[in-house]
Amino acid sequence: MNEMFNQNLPTMKKNLLFKKLNGKKAKALMVFIFAVFVAPVAFSQYGDNIIPNGTFDNGVSGWSLKLLKKSKATLSGTADAHSGDSAALFDVTVLPESGGISKTMMYVDPPVLSSDTNAYKITFWAKSSLDGSEVNVQVQAKDANGNSKYNATTFTLTTDYQKYVWIYNPHRGFNNFILKFRCGGAIAQYYFDDVTMQPISGLPNLDFEEGLNVAWQLDTITAYGAAAVLSEETTSPHGGTIAAKVEVTATDDTLSHIVLKNNAKYFGSAGNAFKTSFFAKGTDGADSIYIAWNCFAGGTYVYTVLDSFALTQEWAQYTTFSQFADSITAISLRFQMGRKTGVYYVDDIEFRESPTGISEIMVGEKPLFYPNPARDIIYLKTEPGALVRILDVTGKVLIQEKVIRNNQSININHLTKGLYLIQFKQEEKTVVQKMVVR
């Protein structure tokens, strides 16, 4: 848990506060939380497709062709479809003189106006007459002034229709989208069908049932000696048919050098609380896992906050409660496991957001200190061995002490008047309570 505040991070205020319980200890609280947090949203939800004529049932209406640097190609409908009666055939006959793959493209025309506060799941089926040829998928997003931001990724095609999925995270203020398929790398016939771009509510594929290639990837920093492999666990997942399995075979004792991450950003409401729970286990030496939130303000990465959990060899559920600070506009979810070799398993992640705030999840906890409101000194009502932190409302740690005796006192006479948070951690339980200083 110390990593939550003492990780080697940018020196700025840590703006997320956490409360966690493990396994059976969480059950009583979970009954209450179910009523508080936004009604049952499944692991994730996908909205309606915003791409017109993505099935190409109307030929290539709504799609245009752009050729640069003397490249030559044609765009037409074809009966050789993945589904339905028609697909798009992008026939590249002359490559561009320079500029490569990006200079020959088909794209959605006109641009699609949509939300800039959702991640998007882009799905399409494609094949090529040349096995191993590539398509570069790009979203050009424009703001109200015509300025553009670009995101792109590349896929390798086969001679049979395959499904391809990409998670796109928009830039704030840029919500006029042009989806492009760029095929200037090889002379070939490129086929596209069933193109969708769906807004994501929550985070996608948190139960892994869509396969590990949808929204998930493993980042391993091999230059420092880390080595790991991501695969589907189908023999004994926690639920459903698939869990994520990360086999770590070498580490350099750096958490962030082996990371299982969800590629979507969650664009939450500033100040709202959220709950993340997941099932995990570890074998062959994997005895702990860290859940991490990369925090963004206005599209700019700010810092990472960690929380740690001890693993057993059987599936167990772990739960964390937290709250957005006013400055944080988006987060992304990661699991870090770069400290020890072993096999790590993750499954059935749940994510909820509540507009009522983190104060709601403190209801029902017995006060662990007195008096409250306080002035110069507080007295602790917790067992020896607990770690106590006093934080300001941004999450900055102001006081940290270890409890060594009953009714231990803490001097707070240097704190200014206002609201604070006091955090108690003992064994596998962490409790956060409010404290008012007069």
Instruction: Encode pLDDT of 232-243 as tens digits.
Output: 999 999 999 999
Higher pLDDT, 176 or 201: 176
Q: Above pLDDT 90, what percent of the chain?
A: 58
Give dist(CA 78, CA 59) in Å, integer. 8
Mean pLDDT of the chain: 84
Q: What is the pLDDT of residue 275?
A: 75
Helix/strand number for the chain, H first, E second: 2, 30
Rounded Cα–Cα distance for residues 7 and 336 (Å):
13
**Least confidently predicted of 31-45, 186-200, 359-373, 392-406:** 31-45
E strand residue ranges, 83-171? 87-94, 104-108, 112-113, 120-128, 134-142, 148-156, 162-168
Closest among 63, 260, 105, 270 to 172, alpha carbons compared? 270
Q: What is the pLDDT of residue 354?
A: 63
Strand 87-94 to 120-128 pairing: unpaired
Q: Do domains 63-202 and 365-437 have the same CATH topology?
A: no
**CATH for 365-437, options being 2.60.40.3080, 1.10.340.30, 2.140.10.10, 3.40.640.10:** 2.60.40.3080
* 4-33 average pLDDT score: 36
| pLDDT, greater one: 27 or 308 | 308
Residue ranges of domains in the chain: 3-39+207-359, 63-202, 365-437
Q: How is domain 63-202 classified at the CATH fold level?
A: Jelly Rolls (2.60.120)
Asked if 97 contacts 69 with a C-beta cutoff of 8 angstroms, the reply is yes
pLDDT tier at 296, thresholds 50, 70, 90 = confident
Compute the Cα dihedral for 255, 266, 125, 233 and give only its sign: positive
Rounded to two decimals, the pTM is: 0.73
- The answer, yes or no, to whether residue 422 has pLDDT greater than 80, is yes
Q: How many CB atoms lie within 10 A of CB 419?
A: 11
CATH class assigned to 3-39+207-359:
mainly beta
Q: Are 187 and 94 contacting, i.e. CB atoms less than 8 angstroms apart?
A: yes
User: What sign does the CA torsion over 94, 97, 102, 104 have?
Assistant: negative
Contacts of 65 (CB under 8 A, 6+ apart): 73, 74, 75, 90, 105, 106
Please give the residue that has the higher pLDDT: either 2 or 90: 90
pLDDT confidence of residue 4: 37
